[in-house]
Structure 1
Amino acid sequence: MSVTVAALYHFTRLEDPAALRAPLLALCEAQGVRGTLLLAREGINGTIAGPRAGIDAVLARIRALPGCAALDVKFSSADAMPFHRTKVRLKREIVTMGMPDIDPTDPGTYVAPADWNALITDPATLVIDTRNDYEVAVGTFAGAVDPGTVSFRDFPTWFRDHRDALLAGKARVAMFCTGGIRCEKATAFLKAEGVEDVFHLKGGILKYLEETPVEDSRWQGECFVFDERVAVGHGLEPGSHSLCRGCRMPVSEADRASPLYVEGVSCPHCHATRDAETKARAAERHRQVELAAKRGAAHVGARYPD
């Protein structure tokens, strides 16, 4: 049976996010919904998965929160549950930029996927991928600037350090990310820095891949996602990447063909940084996961009586 996956976020003022945590967690568990929801004073963010009826019940509760009636959700599907656990966490920011004075409710201009190609192919448009370096390595838009950042926290410093060179000869800035949350906050940051003509892809890469025919697409590669699917392609079909259980980095088909790749233990990215003891523990963990799978039991995410 197909599992419904819902990626969501909404910037709004939540006066007491701590009071929302327990009821949301209880509802998710009662509805068989797994994944992660982040709550902060600036809003809500997360990706959840489960039966469609359960997802609808959780989304109805979220839309009933103050300022969340217009919550935009990106749906996709998975052949199996892509999350091991249910988490509802309290955070200072729903996407961490480390810029507490930025007002995320004053972002740039949304651009629909249908209008995105025209914007980013204009030579006067600076196109920036606001995601992390390992995500960009899996896929990105043709001609986009890769900041090479390890964390979204690094984005403000990167932009300030390269601002003059980036904006030289450009009339506007267009930014994108996986689901829209990072690029939306990045546009608010650029506006606070005095850059007025700032645009961001509505619904992010996922919405673009869902709606844009392959023959019209400017996307190259696959899109990394933060769940067990690892990456998706056009039509949000499962991609070819898997996840290294040693370093949690995406692993391509070429990586898996490397002699440095050991399933469940290490990959070419982390092989040299993991000592023999660490690899041995990882190998034993992977063996236990495989044994549990043969028994038809959960290993990661299993729930036990108190």
Structure 2
Amino acid sequence: MHSGPILNISCYLFVSLDDTAALRERLHARAASLGLKGTVLIAEEGINLFLAGPADAVRAWVDELRADGRFAALTPKESWSETQPFQRLKVKVKAEIIRMNQPTVRPDRAPRAAALAPATLARWLGQGHDDEGRQVVMLDTRNGFEVDHGAFDGAIDWRLHKFSDFPAALAAHRDELAGKTVVSYCTGGIRCEKAAMVLAEQGLHAWQLDGGILKYFEETGGPHYHGGCFVFDEREALAPDLSPRK
């Protein structure tokens, strides 16, 4: 069951791209022709997108993108709204699809960081430990103002101003995480995927929440989470049922 005529999608994929400029032109032209609005970021490390429009148009754009084998694994997260939450369409080529300023951290060139399914996380939080008996700590990799809209109960919040602050914050707090099962999380998964790589490189027992908060909401209904999830569009924040939070 959904509410509203506008389909909103968000997804990302770390995949090596060597034709970013040409890809930008193609994706922009097709999205514009379908009347879509939102933001698509392209870099050598992959793609990150937030788009909205009539469902048929959005899904047609995604289907054409997936026809390129590099993007076959894209799995958009969906939500609905009564009105278009974006003002314009932007398709940009960037140095990183999520900026960390750590050139050696390239998820497109390395095995994916360990990913934890939302249902497993909900079970771990309910029982108070992981399946090996270790304490589970939730590490929020979002900016402080996003955390203020809602977060996992008892989550660690380093009050980041931007994601590129994460490596320095980790260096200052690494010892506090030793011996624990650390689950990094963010809105849709992109930040916590990079973060989990860095955590693992530091010798920590780390996971990323697969698909982020939005997938957790979709698959579990949001237990052990309080408040809403901030999103970067005019809806501002989503409730655990993925409706705009009042």
Tell me the C-alpha RMSD between the 2 structures. 1.4
Alpha-carbon offset, residue 194 of structure 1:
2.9
Task: Pick from 175, 178, 189 the counterpart of residue 180 of structure 1.
Answer: 189
User: What is the 5 A alignment of 1:146-165?
Assistant: 146-165=157-176
Aligned letter for 1:33? L
Matching of residue 235 in structure 1 with residue 238 in structure 2: no
Alpha-carbon offset, residue 66 of structure 1:
4.6
Aligned equivalent of 1:128? 139
Matching of residue 218 in structure 1 with residue 227 in structure 2: no
Higher relative contact order (CA 8 A, sep 6+): 2
Q: CA offsets per residue over residues 133-179 of structure 1, 9 Å max, x none?
A: 00001100001100110000000000011111232x42x21111100
Matching of residue 71 in structure 1 with residue 74 in structure 2: yes
Matching of residue 49 in structure 1 with residue 55 in structure 2: no
Matching of residue 192 in structure 1 with residue 201 in structure 2: yes
Aligned letter for 2:245? G
Which is further off, 152-161 or 59-68?
Answer: 59-68
Q: Which runs of 4+ in 1 moved over 6 A?
A: none
Task: Pick from 2, 9, 16 the counterpart of residue 13 of structure 1.
Answer: 16
Q: CA offsets per residue over residues 185-235 of structure 1, 9 Å max, x none?
A: 11112223333x321111110111122236xx1110111000110001011
Alpha-carbon offset, residue 107 of structure 1:
3.2
Matching of residue 204 in structure 1 with residue 209 in structure 2: no
Q: Is the 8 A contact 1:107 1:191 kept in 2?
A: no
For structure 1, list consecutive stretches of 5 or more residues without a partner in the other structure.
241-306
User: What is the 5 A alignment of 1:15-30?
Assistant: 15-30=18-33
Equivalent position SS for 1:72? coil
For structure 2, list consecutive stretches of 5 or more residues without a partner in the other structure.
none
Equivalent position SS for 2:71? coil
TM-score, reference length from structure 1: 0.74
Q: CA offsets per residue over residues 261-291 of structure 1, 9 Å max, x none?
A: xxxxxxxxxxxxxxxxxxxxxxxxxxxxxxx
Q: CA offsets per residue over residues 2-54 of structure 1, 9 Å max, x none?
A: 10001010000001111101111110111011000000000000100001111
Aligned letter for 2:43? A
TM-score, reference length from structure 2: 0.91
Give the total of aligned pairs.
235
Aligned letter for 1:114? A
Q: Is the 8 A contact 1:102 1:192 kept in 2?
A: no
